């Protein structure tokens, strides 16, 4: 028993992630004030391997994942044109196989901690097109190092765009 090691993974907390989640929550609260009919879903965060993640579910009838992807890409392109936080799209990809769908945007943004240095990130919209139009997707933002205030804006923007027109029942 002397060589036994216990992994301490429960209750993961990190200052970078905590600050990011507070920014995201502040933005989402503003979204809810502007649009009180928007469904509130849980925004989760943590680490996968060596990358931070922030994600939320998009579950409803006939979810248009490509539209969400295009909204996020337009937000990144707009920030690049406005020269905000050194934002630029560095790659994009998509995968569609039967009911499985995934869209990816890789981007760089100025580091929130080291002035002038870039920090890579990825945005995913991925999930499953379900039977009878009921779909289950997730929006995921992953970062390798730290977060910029723009990252929180991007999550809140995706949250608003993805959930504002979401049909969650059979009623029109």
Question: Tell me, what's the pLDDT at 8?
Answer: 36
55 contacts: CB under 8 Å, gap ≥ 6: 43, 44, 45, 138, 139, 140, 141
Residue 122 lies in a domain: yes
Residue 73 lies in a domain: yes
Residue 144 lies in a domain: yes
Residue 116 lies in a domain: yes
What are the beta bridge partners of residue 78? none
Give the closest residue to 159 by CA, choosing from 13, 23, 16.
Answer: 23
- Phi, psi for residue 131 in degrees, rounded to 5: -65, 145
Residue 152 lies in a domain: yes
Residue 6 lies in a domain: no
Question: Tell me, what's the pLDDT at 55?
Answer: 96
124 contacts: CB under 8 Å, gap ≥ 6: 102, 103, 104, 105, 138, 139, 140, 141, 142
Determine what percent of the chain is predicted with pLDDT higher than 90.
Answer: 66
- What b/e string do you get for 14-25 counting C-beta neighbours within 10 Å, with b at 16 or more? eeebeebbebbe
Question: Tell me, what's the pLDDT at 132?
Answer: 83
Question: Tell me, what's the pLDDT at 1?
Answer: 46
Question: Tell me, what's the pLDDT at 6?
Answer: 40
| CATH label of the domain that carries residue 127 | 3.40.1000
When divided into structural domains, the chain yields a total of 1
- Number of other residues whose CB lies within 10 A of the CB of residue 68: 20
Residue 5 lies in a domain: no
Task: Kindly give the confidence (pLDDT) of every residue in the chain, 172 residues in length, as a single tens digit, with 9 standing for 90 and above.
Answer: 455 544 333 346 688 899 999 999 999 999 999 988 898 999 999 988 889 999 999 999 999 999 999 999 999 999 999 988 789 999 999 999 989 999 999 999 988 787 778 899 999 999 999 888 899 999 999 998 889 999 999 999 999 999 987 766 544 4
Question: H or E stretch including 25?
Answer: helix 15-34
Containing domain of residue 53, as a range?
Answer: 15-163
DSSP 72-118: HHHHHHHHHHTT-TT-EEEEEEEEEETTEEEEEEEEEEE-SSSTT-E
Give the closest residue to 158 by CA, choosing from 54, 45, 21.
Answer: 54
Question: Tell me, what's the pLDDT at 116?
Answer: 76
Do 123 and 56 form a contact (C-beta atoms < 8 A)? no
Residue 8 lies in a domain: no
Residue indicated by tokens 């969400």: 68
């Amino acid at each position: 028993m002397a060589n036994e090691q216990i992994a301490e993974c429960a209750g993961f907390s990190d200052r970078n992630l905590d600050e990011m989640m507070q920014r995201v929550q502040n933005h989402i609260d503003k979204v809810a004030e502007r649009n009180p009919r928007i469904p509130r879903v849980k925004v989760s965060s943590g680490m996968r391997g060596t990358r931070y993640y922030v994600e939320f579910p998009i579950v409803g009838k006939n979810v248009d994942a490509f539209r969400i992807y295009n909204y996020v890409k337009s937000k990144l392109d707009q920030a690049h044109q406005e020269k905000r936080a050194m934002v630029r799209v560095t790659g994009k990809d998509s995968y569609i196989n039967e009911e499985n769908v995934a869209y990816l945007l890789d981007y760089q943004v100025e580091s929130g901690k080291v002035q002038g240095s870039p920090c890579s990130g990825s945005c995913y919209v991925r999930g499953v097109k379900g039977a009878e139009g009921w779909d289950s997707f997730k929006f995921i933002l992953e970062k390798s190092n730290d977060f910029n205030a723009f990252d929180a804006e991007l999550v809140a923007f995706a949250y608003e765009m993805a959930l504002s027109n979401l049909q969650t029942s059979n009623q029109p």
